[in-house]
């Protein structure tokens, strides 16, 4: 995901066929970059939003409006082996962490943001 200068990338984008994702956590203090292993979206909000400015490091120069959930429940493993469940929110232009996780999760399943463009 590329909005605001690149805030996430999935392993398949760099030729690594594994469930590994990196996300810059805009919803956390200091906006740390974190790594997620075996990421799954296990729950979604009932509210869907149109997110303007979806884009991708693998598709430079193009952005668009996509239909996304406002919040998602995710599960993943950390590098130290800890299994984590959390709910991630954020769908505005300055804090779109929920959108980012959906974008990266799509990469793991071969779906690109251009597949989700809405008018």
Residues that bind Zn ion (CB under 5 A): 56
Residue nearest to Zn ion (CB): 56
Task: Give min distance, CB of 101 to Zn ion, in A.
Answer: 12
CB-CB contact of 59 with 76 (8 Å)? no
3-state SS, residue 90: coil
Task: Give min distance, CB of 21 to Zn ion, in A.
Answer: 10
CB-CB contact of 74 with 108 (8 Å)? no
Residue 104 a catalytic site member: yes
CA dist 39 and 104 (Å) reads 9
Q: Which is nearer to Zn ion, 39 or 56 (CB)?
A: 56
CA dist 21 and 49 (Å) reads 23
Q: Which is nearer to Zn ion, 41 or 56 (CB)?
A: 56
| Listed residue (45, 73, 41, 64) closest to 116, CA to CA | 64
Q: Which is nearer to Zn ion, 56 or 98 (CB)?
A: 56
Q: Which among 34, 67, 86, 104 is annotated as catalytic?
A: 104
Task: Give min distance, CB of 49 to Zn ion, in A.
Answer: 18
Catalytic residues: 104
């Amino acid at each position: 995901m590329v909005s605001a200068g690149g805030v996430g990338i999935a392993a398949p984008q760099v030729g690594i066929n594994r469930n590994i994702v990196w996300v810059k956590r805009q919803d956390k203090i200091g906006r740390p970059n974190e790594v997620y292993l075996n990421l799954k979206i296990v729950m979604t909000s009932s509210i869907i939003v149109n997110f303007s400015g979806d884009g991708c490091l693998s598709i430079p120069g193009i952005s668009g409006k996509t239909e996304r959930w406002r919040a998602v429940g995710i599960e993943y493993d950390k590098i130290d082996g800890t299994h984590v469940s959390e709910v991630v929110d954020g769908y505005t232009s300055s804090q779109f962490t929920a959108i980012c996780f959906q974008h990266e999760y799509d990469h793991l399943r071969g779906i690109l943001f251009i597949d989700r463009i809405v008018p």
